[in-house]
Chains A and B, each alone.
Chain A
């Protein structure tokens, strides 16, 4: 098996008395889509922030391409090839779509012309081709999600952290954006996505990690994880798995 591109080892994060993330370990491989699921408040976004440099872990290590990147700031990680999107989209509201993507493109292309060309291409790739000169604040939620994705892609990452990129989208919008995401892994990018939309997890993810109350409680392929009674209980409450089993018997 290939050496994972990203390796999170026993990472914890404490906020005063609250242990938001508790010795969590996971990994992501190039060319694969890995999902991080779990009930609300489990600490998934916190874990993302720990991986992407917005928060420093209280304990544990984060490794990327065999380098120890624990605690490195976000802009340095971006240069290494780690890009992230935000759960609450953060467009550069006053700028046009093209100018938004341009900021990402400039990471590896100092010259404006080359960066603009890349921005144009990425914009088309995510399906925003005809919106490039509209102001970012004029986009719909679905559009903003695509913009969020485009900006991250323009940095030409090897690891892409997607934080609930499907949240707030209606079924047809989800159906339209799924191929864009699966295309990414075809290109060799490692994708780690936090998702609540189970249809996406089942159809896209090769491997799933389940986080509940700050701890990784299960991992495996999507069918394995969904059938795991521990996972069911994490979502539906204590005793739910047993209840479901007894319901089946009858």
Chain B
């Protein structure tokens, strides 16, 4: 009897140890980046472009590029993804074809991100872009890496994620609610808008936030679709000479790509180490705020659902 208990306690403490190890790794990563990076962070670092061959100055263009890129991605992916999920869940039947499509979408969420990069280069830039150039006689305007194509590539990457999470949120609305709405004479759209959407909104929001954070931290898909090592000026164009807006046809600097390029391909890797830690800290803070928000929202949503 005693031995059985002892073995049990030993194994249980191994499990506790594993959890403790994982938490330690998390805190080590956070602490290490924070400690090494905080020294670099000041107003100049956040607001100035890189100078002296990337060894001094700040990362403002990279922050700007990341936010602009994420914005493009959201505009392209979020409405499409949510509308698709609503269609698949509320309008399309539950037949065989529908199940195959769902399985395909589910699976696509696990496809390596570099494959999307490959698709972005081959399809968006070399196929769509070059064809556009040929039809519109624009020389080489569309057929080259640009913010638009990088955003589109990321949009295709997060689209399955958004569809799956929205679908999950819609599925969580009890069928009886829908039936009650129909019984009161609501049309299908009235039912969706007044019953299903309000209830599934937290879930949809959570999925969206998590996918935004994923897109903001992704590097592989933008490697060849638009990220640039260094740009002397922001990818901004004056619309009709007055209104400034992000130029979707220009390349951009991006935080994740900046870390990658500084730590592997710059001329003096050791010299730029502090900048690398600083950039990593900024990227971590950005994605963590999004992630934490998403995870907390999801935890709250789940608890509510269990109670209801």
Q: Do A and B bind each other?
A: no
